[in-house]
Structure formats: structure tokens, C-alpha cells
Amino acid sequence: MAKYLLLKHYRGAPAAVNDVPMAQWAPEEISAHVQYMQDFAARLEKTGEFVDGQALAPEGTWVRYDGEGRPPVTDGPFAETKDLIAGWMVIDVDSYERAVELAGELSAAPGAGGKPIHEWLEVRPFLTAPPTITE
């Protein structure tokens, strides 16, 4: 019973096995890919393991506080960052093993040629409030 974040990266992850840029896929391959992700989320809703999931735009902006009374500093939009997040899903599962199993399944979403992409996903546990027993 722990929550995990499954992170899908635009860039920065090791190359997928079936590494063809999405722009070069056939439209029906993209539909199949999207359908796979939706089915996956729907199935986790049924098993009671789904918490939340969203897709993120590839563009982002760095923001920093720049002192009292001054507007925040921004730098961007940038497209060259090595590591942008494409989307995420939060799951609530019984064990780390189950989280890895589900991430593996998500990584097998179909890509170019209808074959699994075998892309790399990041699995990160949520830090939580302390349990009753720690001492």
C-alpha cells in the first residue's frame, strides 16, 4: 500500500528498443498507442490501483525568485533540456514489485510497426507522513 509515480520522459531516458520518433509513426499506430495507455489506466481504475495521471506539454519554463519587489526571473521556453517530462501516472499498489510490474506493462505500449516501444519509464515512490511506529 504505497503510492508510486510512473514518469514518462520526452528526453533524458536511455533510448527505447523500438526507437522511432512518434512523428514518423502511422496515424493508426499513434491511435493504438494512445488507446493502450487509456486501456491501461481504465484497467487500473477497475483494480483500485489508479490515483491520477496527466500528460504534460513538452515546453516548460524555469522560474526563480529574484528578490523583494522584483518579478520572478524566467528562462525559456527551452527545447534543449535533456530531461523533460511527458506525462505521469500515480498508482497505489501493494508492493514495489507490483509498481515495477505495471511500469513494465506500460512500457510495452505499441509504437511504430505496432511493436512495443520498450521505452524506459521512471518509477519513484512517494514520501509520506510517518507511520505510527518508527522508534
Partner 1 sequence: MNEALLRSLTPSVLGILVRRGADFAAAEDAVQDALVEALRVWPADPPRDPKGWLVTVAWRRFLDQARSDTARRRREELVDEEPAPGPTPAVDDTLQLYFLCAHPSLTPSSAVALTLRAVGGLTTRQIAQAYLVPEATMAQRISRAKRTVSGVGVSPARATSRAGARFDQPGDVATVLRVLYLVFNEGYSGDVDLATEAIRLTRQLAAVIDHPEVAGLLALMLLHHARRATRTAPDGSLVPLAEQDRGRWDTESIAEGVEILQAALARDRLGEFQAQAAIAALHADAPTAEETDWVQIVEWYDELARLTDSPVVRLNRAVAVGEADGPRAGLAALAALDGSSPSPSRKGSAVPRHAAVAAYLHERDGDLTTAARLYAEAAQQAPNLAERDYLTRQAARLNTDRSR
Q: Which is nearer to partner 1, 51 or 108 (CB)?
A: 51
Distance from CA of residue 101 to its chain's centroid? Answer: 15
Smallest gap from residue 87 Cβ to partner 1 (A):
18
Of 5-13, 64-72, 108-116, 124-132: span binding partner 1 (CB under 8 A): 124-132
- Rule CB under 8 A: say whether 59 interacts with partner 1: no
| Biggest alpha carbon–alpha carbon distance for the chain | 57
State in angstroms the smallest separation of the CB of 52 from partner 1: 7
Q: Give me the 13-52 binding string for partner 1, x by CB under 8 A, dash otherwise.
A: --------------------------------xxxxxxxx
Altogether, the residues listed in the chain come to a count of: 135
**Which lies closer to partner 1 via its Cβ, residue 115 or residue 124?**
124
With contacts defined by CB under 8 A, how many residues of the chain interact with partner 1?
24
Q: Is residue 54 close enough to count as binding partner 1 by CB under 8 A?
A: no
Q: Extract the C-alpha cell encoding 132.
A: 505510527
Site for partner 1 in 82-121 (CB under 8 A): 92-94, 96
Question: Does the bond joining 77 to the residue before it have cis omega, within 30 degrees of 0?
Answer: yes
- What's the rounded Cα separation, in Å, for the pair 29 and 126? 33
- What are the Cα distances from residue 81, in Å, to 24, 52, 75, 88, 89? 22, 26, 12, 18, 22
The separation between the first and the last C-alpha atoms of the chain, rounded to the nearest angstrom, is: 21
By CB under 8 A, name the binding residues for partner 1. 1, 3, 45-52, 92-94, 96, 125, 127-135
